Amino acid sequence: MRRGSWKFRILIGLAIVAFAFIRRCSNQTENPYTGRVQNISMTTQEEIQIGLAHAPTMAEQHGGLHPDNTVQAYVDAIGKKLVQSTIAKESPYPYDFHVLADDRTVNAFALPGGQIFITYALLSRLQNEDQVAGVLGHEIGHVLGKHSAERIAESQYWQTLSQGAQVGADAGGLVTGIGQNTLLKNGRDDELESDNLGVLFMIRAGYDPYAMIEVMKILKAAAGPNRAPEFQNTHPDPDNRIEKIEEAIKEYEAA
């Protein structure tokens, strides 16, 4: 490779990295529901559109929606009570709660914009309305925390950095690896933030926040002694979450 060509590649790579950094700084915004400053590259309406667009696919991957309308109405009522009793009511998100027919995968998750899912495998293990509220409150926390939108923006940032490194110094693989590790760490922090918000939402809606601790025990039992369930791929260990949940309960009950 000629020296001039090498220098040109370095300059282009640096320009790409600088662009990624400037764009990331310009996207910094304070979340109105949590007060946390985040890197968000999309509008609220775009969050909603992404969630609505992907909801059918997510349902299809889990065997579709549960056919029992009574089960769906039960979850809808709990979800609506949580939303109407908390700051979630002040948000522009059109919350929809979906019970998935999947009776093997113990999981619950939220898409950006208010699309919230719980598998029948998890719902059937929950013993009362308070525990269901704990799961749904946690997922509402993900929506208000704009966690999916933040992860998308962070992914775009690291992808652009990787492109700059590949052009300038053939080091894209290293930068991409750092980005993935950062995303995983932040994802775990998101889970703890959602637990904290879920506790607050449960208290505001009149549910027993200690039921969320029981949910953690149910999740741990569902994993069994020799395997990690789907939720543990991105969630902190249930034992660690219990400690933080207990701290949040004491904090909010004392307020």
Q: Which of 233, 245, 198 lies closest to 106 in space, CA to CA?
A: 233
Distance CA 185, CA 92 (A): 28
| 63 CB-contact burial (10 Å; exposed 0-12 / middle 13-18 / buried 19+) | middle
The distance of Cα 207 from the centroid of its chain, to the nearest Å, equals: 22
Split into its structural domains, the chain has a count of: 1
Domain span at 214: 3-254
Distance CA 20, CA 26 (A): 10
Tell me the CA distances in angstroms from 101 to 33, 77, 111, one per residue in order: 32, 18, 18
Per-residue pLDDT of the chain in tens (255 residues, 90 and over written 9): 455 565 545 555 445 445 444 555 555 788 888 899 988 878 899 889 888 988 999 999 999 999 999 999 999 999 999 999 999 999 999 999 999 999 999 999 998 899 999 999 999 999 999 999 999 999 999 999 998 888 876 665 445 445 544 544 443 443 343 333 333 333 678 889 999 999 999 999 999 999 999 999 998 888 776 555 444 455 566 778 899 999 999 999 987
Are the C-beta atoms of 146 and 90 separated by less than 8 Å? no
